[in-house]
Amino acid sequence: MIKILSETPSKYQAIAFRMEYWKPGANYSSLILNAISKVVSNGDFIVISEKAVSIAKNQIIDEGRVKPGLAARLLSKIWMRIVWGHIFGNICHMTRKTRWRLRNYPLKEGAAHKQICLTYAGFLQSLRHGSEGGIDVTNLPYSFAALPLENPHLEADLIQKQIHRKTGRRVSVMIVDTDKTYRFGRKNYTPLPKAIPGISGGGGVFTYILCRLLRCKRRATPVGHAGESSNIETVLNIAETANRARGVGAGRTPWHMAERFGVDLTDVTWEMLDRVDHYPVVVVKCLD
């Protein structure tokens, strides 16, 4: 099944493909090719979820097996519950319910998560309230976390070449993280440690707080790109168009996901996720 989203004004048309949940070991290249082969045209953008590819490549880690250190426990108990829950949450215009969740940040699971963030993303990224360094725990079962791709540009290039070999179409391929890029003045910034050229990354918590405070325009972040060069604003608009067409799967946050299934944060199963509609691949057509 596919769903189609047309932007207003009609500059882009997004075609999102419902697929099976990509578990570790999934042949995602074949799934992508089979899905898009009948609708793709020259000049289209194929936008793919970074997390879906990370899971398929088994770049996930079980936080339940992690023993947190003192720094991780302090981040969980003081930084998240007090600083984010009472100060930064307000500064960043978070909803009342989100601030309440941060004030009740889970100590055991949260400390394990922060330890993973410290190990793989560093201290500056670990100060964020979520998506630290691109590490993601949404739409994953149990206590698993997905690590960001090591080389998303290479991944995009390989997929683009496979599409060209099978369909003969010349397309652009983007690997996209749902975490945001913010427009400030004439430049674009992301809290993530890396993104495509034209986006300044690595500012971590400082970029996030400043841009949220100023209510900067925000769009999904392309972390890998292969194909013809495009204006950075066009690329960001296409990434956000695909992001809206894709939806949030089982939930926008671990709390949403747990509430949807009526279980605790780490009790979501693979089988539960199988029952949800997932759209990891979106074809975006430029209608101009």
| Neighbour tally for 130: CB within 10 Å | 18
Tokens at 241, concatenated? 């168009």
86 secondary structure, DSSP code: I
Contact of 68 with 188, CB cutoff 8 Å: no
Alpha-carbon span 188 to 219, nearest angstrom: 10
Q: Which residues of the chain have pLDDT under 70?
A: 1-10
78 secondary structure, DSSP code: I
75 secondary structure, DSSP code: I
Closest to 180 (Cα-Cα) out of 159, 160, 153, 203: 203
Question: What is the domain class of 2-58+152-251+274-286 according to CATH?
Answer: alpha beta
Q: Domain locations in the chain?
A: 2-58+152-251+274-286, 61-146
Residue 1 confidence (pLDDT):
56
Residue 58 confidence (pLDDT):
97
Alpha-carbon span 26 to 142, nearest angstrom: 19
Alpha-carbon span 128 to 50, nearest angstrom: 20
Residue 8 confidence (pLDDT):
43
Residue 51 confidence (pLDDT):
97
Return left, alpha or beta for 262; rule: phi > 0 is left, psi -120 to 50 is alpha, else beta. left
Cis check for the bond before 9: say yes or no (omega within 30 of 0).
yes
Alpha-carbon span 279 to 51, nearest angstrom: 12
